[in-house]
Every structure is written in C-alpha cells, then in structure tokens.
Chain A
Amino acid sequence: MTRKFVVYLILIGLAIFTAFPFLWTIVVSLKTRGPIFSIPPDLSLSGLSIANYTGVWKTLPLPRYALNSLYIAAMGVSLTLVICSLAAYPLARMQFWGKNVVFYAIVGTLILPEHIGLIVNFITMMRFRLVDTYASVYLPSIASIFGIFLLRQAYLSIPQELEDAARIDGAGDLTIWWRIMLPLTVPALATLAIFQFVAFWNSFLWPVIILKTPDKYPLAAGLLYLRGLFAYNTRYIAAGIVIATLPVIVVFLFTQRYFMRGLIAGAIK
C-alpha cells in the first residue's frame, strides 16, 4: 500500500516536472495584471480573462499563421499519404527488376545527413524559383522514408488470397491497389497522417529558411518571429503558445494508440 503510494507520488512529481512550463504559460496567458516574473511565481487562479487571446488574435497575424499551418499541414499530409502508399506497394507486393537496389537505396537515405539538405535544397528551390512559396515548405519532406516503411509493413500483412481473388475477377494493378489494398492499410495511413501532421505543424527551421515573407510563416515559426518583435508582450506570446500547442496536444490525446505504435515503428527503423 505504502509502496504504491510512493510510486504515485513520484509519478505526480514527474508529471509536474514535464507539465509545469505549460501550466505556468497557461496561467500567464490568462491574466492581464501583475508581474509576470516574480519569486514565488504568481500561480493563483484569480482575475482570469481571455483578453490576451482576443488581443493576440486581433492585433497580431496569428490567424494568418494558423491558416498557413493548416494549409501546409493539409497539403503535406495528403501528398505524403499518396506518394508513400504508391511507393510502398510495389516494394511489398511485386517482384520486379531492381527491387533490392531500390529498397536499399531507400534504406540508405536514413544514414544520409539531412543537414546538408538544408543548404542544397535551398539552392535547388532557388533554381526552381520556389523560394518563398508554400510548396517549397512541404515538397522536400513528403517522400517520407518512415512512411514508406510503415506502409510497406502494412501491405506485407495483407493475405495473398485477397489479391488473387481480385485478379481472377479481372482487376488490374491500379484497381487492386486502390480497391483492395489501400482500404486495408487505413490504420497505418492514420498513423502516418498523424505523424506528418505533427511534424508539419511543429516545423520551423526549414520554413524560416525558405520563406522570406513572415506573413507566410506557419505558427511555430511565426511565434518565434513575434517573440523577437514583441519581446515585451509576454502575455500575448503566452496566449499564442497555447493557441499553437493546443491542436497538437488534442490530436495526440485522441490518437495516442496510433501515435505510440507509429513512434515505436519509427524509432526501430
């Protein structure tokens, strides 16, 4: 009994450790008066208001950033799903010339250093005249290796009989993929979609490099930019943080099972 109590105590202590910055930020964002930094910190729940939220939403380009994020994430996620499920299919279920070479070339990219990509992809985007476009933000990451492997695994687990039956009925390759295979990989597709959504939503480094107009920034990059400009208005930034973080946490809490499964598959790759 006491043992269990001690374990819970430790668990709660750790939860406070991981959650404290968030809790403090929420409290700061909900107040309009008093010192922000003080010892001890002001964690009382009196005089709360959503004035900072309406303020940051109305006076700063936060809605704009949110829309940018949504658009980039929507385009990025849907293109990832299409491209990865197309690519994973032959790797899982077809015998073709050069299959091993292709497979190992794709595996090999995992050890390629992605930081060189930042430099060269910037130059490539300049050549394509895509700098400062939304497309330049999502294009380099939609052929996700993680996604290809996740979906390949899903295709591999589909029984051969289904495919054979469809073939007897005279279905072609595209029909088999679209009608038979794709619907059976929906759990894996969901995992990949959630993962890519979080990745695109949180991305800031590549957007900051490739977007020259701050008005095109997604939320994470926009917050960083605003912090630089409005360093004094901590409460607005705090409200912005909550607005930027809440969607990801909500998505995570509702899709935890998919998320953890994907994470393990990804780490293990």
Chain B
Amino acid sequence: MPVRPAPKPSAARGLGHALNPSGARGSGRRTTLVAYLFLLPALALLAIFTFYPVIFGTVLSLFEYDVINPPRYVGLQQFQRLLSDRYFWIALTNSAKYVLVVPVIQLCSILLAVLVNRPLRGVGAFRAAYYIPVITSWPVVGIMWTWMYDQQGVVNWVLRGLDLVARPISWLNHPTITLYAVMFVTLWKGLGWYMVIYLSGLQAIPVEYEEAAMIDGASRSRVFWHVTIPLLRPYVLLASLLSTMAAVKVFEEIYVMTRGGPFFSTYTMFMYIFDKAFEELNMGYAAALALVLAAILLVLSAINFRVFRRGGLEWY
C-alpha cells in the first residue's frame, strides 16, 4: 500500500539532543540498556518459539526421534527416504494442485471489491456480511460445510434445483471431486479477506484516473481492465502471493473436513507433516518434510519480496 515513508525519528530528534547533550537520547550506553530491557520479553519469546524452531527443526531432520527414546543420528536418510515415499509425492501433488484456487479466489475478490467500492446506502452492512466467514473459526466452518455437502444437504439441493447435477453427489467422499469441494470452502472463507485488501487498493486510486478514461469515452469494462486493474497491480501481486503460499501449506480446511481422505485424495503436505509428527510421533521425518515445505515457501516468499519491490511498494 502506498506506505507513507515513516517519519524519520532522527529528523525530529534535534531538540532532544540539544536538551540532552550527555546523550541520554542518543545511542548512549544507558539508552541501549533501557532499549533492550524494553525489548527483552519479546525477543526472548521470539528466540524460543520462532528462531529456535528453525534451527532445531533443521537439526532434527537429521535424527530419528520419537519423543520417548533419545534421538538417534541418521544423517540425510530421512531425505532419501522421502524421495521414495509414495505419500510424500501424493501430498506434494495435492498441495501443488491446491494452488488452482488462487486465480479463482483473486478474480472473485477483485470483482467483489469493485462491487462494494461504491457509495451505496447500506454497502457497509454488505461488506460486513462478506467478512463474517473470515472471522469464523475453522472448526465451525468445517462442521457447517460438512453439513452443506451432505448427500441430502443444501449444495445438492441448489445444484439439483438448477439442474446442474442429475443425482446427489457425496461431495466429501469422492476421490476426484473432494479436493475441489474443499477448495470451494477456502474460497468461501477467504473472499472477504482479500476483498478488504483490494478495497484498500481501490480506495488508494485517485478517482480522476477512472473519470478521465470515462470522459474519453471508454466503456466500464475497458476502464476496469485498462485502468483499474493495472493500478491495482501491486495489490494483485501481494494478494496472489499470500494466497499461493496459503494454498501450498493448506491444512485447516482439510483437517476439519476430510483429514486427507477419501483415499488420500485431499492429503496435503501439511496434513502429512501433522500425521507424522503428532499421530506417529515420528519427529525427525516430520521435520524433514517440514523443511521441504519450508524451502518451497521460502522460494515463494523470495519471489514475493522481489515482486513487492518491483510493484513499487515499500517493505514497511
């Protein structure tokens, strides 16, 4: 977002320095001490729960560890095992397939944002309504959608009413359809979130641009594709990359609806990691899997970072 350059603290510091030539406001030893005392609780927690896991996780992937017996060093064996592990490839394929939801979710939420970005009476209430799935917990969403997808459920009722299906489909119990049924729930829950991102993008576009194009005789759809979308580009990139990363590490919707089934057709990387770590207590292998996923995500966030810069956005 057009992040305004943060007011440079040093610029406002003049008076402080004049008042305190001894340097209590500068980078004196006392200030440094005080600063670190303020930072201490946060840094300690981050060190334990955020930095340490990455280091220890990497080390752990070289060990066989089941929480009860002492860890046993196995070198790169976990990674070798992984290459010939059928379930790893199934999980990786499904995680990759899940990225299909990204273009759909982005296009829908851009259209939605454009739709609610107008001065209509009551539009705020509609925005709120679209946002409610975002703040609903995954277990609730999962349980509700399991009911919606029931053989005798609402989804089948609607689709049969529209004559789109001949007989009720068992949405969450079908080896090819289920993954897409779960993706639809991701779409349903995510729409409002991306809508808000795009809304903030749309509101940063000066109306003059669109008005000028209209005066020049451009149709609404031309204005949308040739003025609005290009100006929205940084937001589209940001949201798409966030959404791609979320898709690669998809877990919650799978866990609350299918647990990876039927027949592993919705088994994703994160689901596999979860099973290995907490069902089988095979921590070393789970760590190796987690590192592979982390590598994929790191590549994606490196792209994210570069595109971000190119999109003309400031990183903080």
Q: Decide: B157 and A163 in contact? CB cutoff 8 A.
A: no
Interface 9-residue window, one of A51-59, A70-78, A137-145, A185-193: A137-145
- Cβ-based interface call for B118 (8 A): yes
Given the interface pairs A97-B32, A116-B287, the reply to whether A92 lies near B9 with Cβ below 8 Å is yes
Cβ distance B71 to chain A, nearest Cβ, rounded Å: 10
Given the interface pairs A14-B130, A95-B27, A164-B19, the reply to whether A84 lies near B138 with Cβ below 8 Å is no
Would you list which residues of chain A between 212 and 244 have a CB under 8 Å from chain B? 219-221, 223-224, 227, 234, 237, 241, 244
Chain B 249-286 interface 0/1 with A at a Cβ cutoff of 8 Å (1 = within): 10110011000000000000010011001100001001
Would you list which residues of chain B between 112 and 126 have a CB under 8 Å from chain A? 112, 115-116, 118, 120, 123-124, 126
Q: How many residues of B contact A (CB 8 A)?
A: 108
Query: Per a CB cutoff under 8 Å, which of A96, A115, A202 touches B290?
Result: A115
- Cβ-based interface call for B212 (8 A): no
Q: Decide: A143 and B120 in contact? CB cutoff 8 A.
A: no
Cβ distance A237 to chain B, nearest Cβ, rounded Å: 6
Contacts of B73 in A (CB 8 A): none
Cβ distance A31 to chain B, nearest Cβ, rounded Å: 14
Q: Decide: B116 and A11 in contact? CB cutoff 8 A.
A: yes
Chain A 2-37 interface 0/1 with B at a Cβ cutoff of 8 Å (1 = within): 001001101100110111111011001000000111
Given the interface pairs A11-B126, A96-B27, the reply to whether A167 lies near B139 with Cβ below 8 Å is no
Query: Per a CB cutoff under 8 Å, which of A17, A87, A142, A248 touches B136?
Result: A248
Contacts of B147 in A (CB 8 A): 21, 24-25, 28, 36-37, 234
In this complex, which of A10, A38, A123 has the most chain B Cβ atoms within 10 angstroms of its Cβ? A123
Chain B 272-314 interface 0/1 with A at a Cβ cutoff of 8 Å (1 = within): 0110011000010011001101100110010001000000000
Main secondary structure of the interface of B (DSSP, over half): helix
Query: Per a CB cutoff under 8 Å, which of B143, B144, B270, B283 touches A224?
Result: B143
Q: How far is the CA of A105 from the CA of B35 in the complex (A)?
A: 16
- Cβ-based interface call for A102 (8 A): yes
Q: Could you list which residues of chain A lie within 8 angstroms of chain B, going by C-beta atoms?
A: 4, 7-8, 10-11, 14-15, 17-22, 24-25, 28, 35-41, 82-84, 86-87, 89-99, 102, 105-107, 109, 111-113, 115-124, 126, 139-140, 142-143, 148-149, 153, 156-157, 159-161, 163-164, 167-168, 173, 177, 198, 201-205, 209, 219-221, 223-224, 227, 234, 237, 241, 244-245, 248-249, 252-253, 256, 260, 263-264, 267-269
Q: 8 shortest A-B CB distances, which residue pairs?
A: A87-B42, A120-B53, A202-B137, A90-B35, A37-B152, A143-B45, A96-B35, A113-B294
A-B contact pairs, 27 of them (CB 8 A): A8-B120, A14-B130, A17-B188, A22-B144, A28-B147, A39-B157, A39-B168, A82-B41, A83-B41, A96-B32, A98-B32, A112-B51, A113-B249, A116-B53, A118-B274, A119-B277, A119-B283, A120-B53, A121-B49, A123-B60, A124-B53, A142-B45, A204-B137, A223-B140, A248-B136, A249-B136, A268-B238
